[in-house]
Amino acid sequence: MSLCDLNFKNSFVESLPGKEFLPPEEPRPQMTPNVAYSRVSPQPVKNPQLVSWSDAAAELLGLQLGDWTEREAAQIFSGNRICPSMKPYAARYGGHQFGHWAGQLGDGRAITLAEVVNPKGESWEVQLKGAGLTPYSRGADGRAVLRSSLREYVCSEAMFYLGVPTTRALCLVTTGESVVRDMFYDGHPQAEPGAITTRLAPSFVRFGHFQMCAFLSELELLKQTVHYVMDQHFPQFRNPEGKYDYLKWYSHVVESTAQMVVHWLRVGFVHGVMNTDNMSIHGLTIDYGPFGWLDVYDPEWTPNTTDAGQRRYRFAAQPAVAMWNLAQLGEALGPLLGGEAAVHEVLNDYQHSFRQKLLEMMGQKLGFAKGLPPGGIELIEELDRVLRLTEVDTTLFYRKLSELHLQPVKEEDFGHPERWWGVLGEAYYAKSPPEPALEAMGRWLKKYWLQWGVQDESKEDLVGKMNQANPYFIPRNYILQQCIDELEKGETRQLNQVMRALQSPYEENDMTRPFFAKRPEWARQRAGCSDLSCSS
Ligand code: AMP
Ligand code: MG
């Protein structure tokens, strides 16, 4: 079998208006009114090499080992070879960046090859990121560096196994070409290895697709795009007479976005650039850039150095930002949704349902299998305060807490830190944290223990469920940085280990155990580990 024998279709291109695009000699911004996309061809690269391949993502396309050769995969997933039935394009969209309308953005370096219909009849859009210039490149080069490509590739797959709605990543290809980036925007541009990530999703349609039509008052195109997206992906919101229920569909987008953000909070993920052009209409985590994971529990933290002053996209702000973004989507869809009042009503529901979901999720993290007990909200709020008193590792804390349940500790032990420190202490960054922080934790533990203990399931069962809500493995920034450092020297050992570990993120096993550790001290200030620039 050749990869070109996959069952390709091109529904986006065939259903919506677009235009042909010849790349300009020099990159320059181009406005593309009245089209949903521009037809483009990926720009060939010098020496494409397949670095890593996700078998699980390949399965989504109906592909199995042996259906492809490394050489062919490298040619196709670098854009060097286009199969006859592909109609590649770059999509047009706009967006609010950091709260301000930024106008037309679009796929500046992402090129969709086609959609693949798998044997189950599911359709997956196949997109190359870093494949060259498009009309939306806006003065940039259309390329991506290896470090950011690796981060997107690994994290997409990790999020899937963590149970967080996400776009997927099929493979990572190096281009054999270098890309120049000024990583810290401080006037020191450097050549870095280039790469291309192949990503998969039901579609890569963003809030910004609709916003762009609305901004240009292209009502016909707005409607056409909505109908296309609903027909392809949300047929349940069309009644038997064929009428579209726009408001129900919008509510669904609101719900799935809320669900996604609750998952982010559960696993300690900070997206870093929640601009409306980075919000998927499917409620999937999309566009992995300067994202990060909470090592130390700090709800005010954001990994994105560009956002260091304002911290608009900090961990704890994500629910509110999602709501703001949904309001922008609602405004763009306004003419179809029946006006502002209807949008407001849906968003009010969001606030309520978001809180419910959040409390339910926190209940699961704390091991209350049947929901939060009375006083549970206070317990959550107090834990938030206690965890901020000294540096505690978010991931280790919850796993060590579940481990503590299996120890012979009783309520009266929590007044004596030495009786719980042996287990929970491993989550603390300081060897001997300040007394008040330990006392506060002891008080919290005592209250928590009393409420936990009255549940009528066995300890082991409760701990088992708790461990399903609290990851044992997450691809922390420093772990990804180690993969990058190695890969830049041509080694894939750590990357391969991480790709194995991420497949069982809730399990302690030989693959995951080596990664169950606090962020090491060297990573505290190192770029890529604690701070990430948008330069990618
Ligand atoms: P991001 O912050 O990665 O979501 O990107 C914002 C916008 O800039 C999107 O329209 C991207 O396609 C575009 N963009 C980012 N990097 C590049 C690049 N190297 N070349 C062309 N366009 C880019
Ligand atoms: Mg983006």
- Residue 466 — very low, low, confident or very high, per pLDDT cuts 50/70/90? very high
- Residue 531 — very low, low, confident or very high, per pLDDT cuts 50/70/90? confident
162 within 8 A of 505, measured Cβ to Cβ: yes
Ligand 1, pocket-test mutation among 137, 151, 152, 535, most atoms within 8 A of CB = 137
User: How far is ligand 1, taken at its centre, from the CA of residue 60, in Å?
Assistant: 27
**C-beta atoms surrounding 234 within 10 Å:** 19
393 lines ligand 1 (CB under 6 A): no
User: How far is ligand 1, taken at its centre, from the CA of residue 143, in Å?
Assistant: 9
14 within 8 A of 89, measured Cβ to Cβ: no
Q: pLDDT tens digits for 188-210?
A: 999 999 999 999 999 999 999 99
Of all helices (H) and strands (E), which one includes residue 14? Answer: helix 11-15
User: How far is ligand 1, taken at its centre, from the CA of residue 138, in Å?
Assistant: 8
pLDDT for residue 313: 98
363 within 8 A of 271, measured Cβ to Cβ: no
For the ranges 67-71, 313-317, 397-401, the lowest mean pLDDT is seen at 67-71
Q: pLDDT tens digits for 403-436?
A: 999 999 999 999 999 999 999 999 999 999 999 9
First to last CA, the chain: 35
Is 25 a residue whose pLDDT tops 80? no
**Closest residue by Cα to residue 297 from 366, 388, 361, 378:** 388
Is 118 a residue whose pLDDT tops 80? yes
Mean pLDDT (the chain) is 96
For the ranges 23-37, 149-163, 322-336, 515-529, the lowest mean pLDDT is seen at 23-37
Q: Which ligand is nearest to the CA of 136?
A: 1
pLDDT for residue 45: 98
Measured from the Cα of 287, ligand 1's closest atom is: 4
Q: Which ligand is nearest to the CA of 289?
A: 1
Measured from the Cα of 107, ligand 1's closest atom is: 12
Q: CA torsion sign, 472 to 473 to 474 to 480?
A: positive
pLDDT for residue 133: 93
pLDDT for residue 30: 86
Task: Report d(CA 181, CA 149) in Å as an integer.
Answer: 14
pLDDT for residue 527: 87
Residue nearest to atom 11 of ligand 1 (CA): 108
Give how far the C-alpha of residue 168 lies from the chain's centroid of Cα atoms, to the nearest Å.
9
pLDDT for residue 355: 95
Is 36 a residue whose pLDDT tops 70? yes
pLDDT for residue 98: 97
273 lines ligand 1 (CB under 6 A): yes
User: How far is ligand 2, taken at its centre, from the CA of residue 254, in Å?
Assistant: 20
Contacts 24+ apart (CB under 8 A), 446-451: 446/411, 446/414, 446/415, 447/375, 447/379, 447/382, 448/366, 448/379, 448/383, 449/409, 449/410, 449/411, 449/414, 450/411, 451/368, 451/373, 451/375, 451/376, 451/379
151 lines ligand 1 (CB under 6 A): no
Longest dimension (CA), the chain: 75
User: How far is ligand 1, taken at its centre, from the CA of residue 150, in Å?
Assistant: 16
196 within 8 A of 129, measured Cβ to Cβ: yes
108 lines ligand 1 (CB under 6 A): yes
Question: Which tokens belong to 195?
Answer: 């790469």
278 lines ligand 1 (CB under 6 A): yes
- Residue 27 — very low, low, confident or very high, per pLDDT cuts 50/70/90? low
Taking each helix axis from N to C end, the angle separating 477-488 and 493-501, rounded to the nearest 10 degrees, works out to: 150
pLDDT for residue 381: 98
What average pLDDT does the segment 480-504 reach? 97
Q: Which amino acid is at 135?
A: P
365 lines ligand 1 (CB under 6 A): no
pLDDT for residue 23: 65
Geometric angle at alpha carbon 36, from 35 and 38, rounded to 5°:
75
Q: pLDDT tens digits for 140-153?
A: 999 999 999 999 99
Active-site hit among 107, 277, 307, 413: 277
Ligand 1, pocket-test mutation among 136, 146, 175, 209, most atoms within 8 A of CB = 136
pLDDT for residue 533: 86
Give how far the C-alpha of residue 147 lies from the chain's centroid of Cα atoms, to the nearest Å.
16
CA dist 445 → 130, 366, 424 (Å): 49, 11, 11
Of all helices (H) and strands (E), which one includes residue 325? Answer: helix 318-332
User: How far is ligand 2, taken at its centre, from the CA of residue 189, in Å?
Assistant: 22
140 lines ligand 1 (CB under 6 A): yes
pLDDT for residue 184: 82
Q: Which residues surround ligand 2, an ion (CB under 5 A)?
A: 278, 287
Is 277 tagged catalytic?
Answer: yes
What average pLDDT does the segment 322-329 reach? 98
- Across 264-286, b (16+ Cβ under 10 Å) vs e yields bbbbbbbbbbbbbbbbbbbbbbb
Task: Report d(CA 259, CA 242) in Å as an integer.
Answer: 28
The dihedrals phi and psi of 137, each to the nearest 5 degrees, come to -75, -20
- With H, G, I as helix, E, B as strand and everything else as coil, classify residue 190: strand
User: How far is ligand 2, taken at its centre, from the CA of residue 533, in Å?
Assistant: 14
Is 465 a residue whose pLDDT tops 90? yes
Q: pLDDT tens digits for 242-258?
A: 999 999 999 999 999 99
Give pTM, 2 decimals. 0.97
pLDDT for residue 435: 97
- Residue 283 — very low, low, confident or very high, per pLDDT cuts 50/70/90? very high
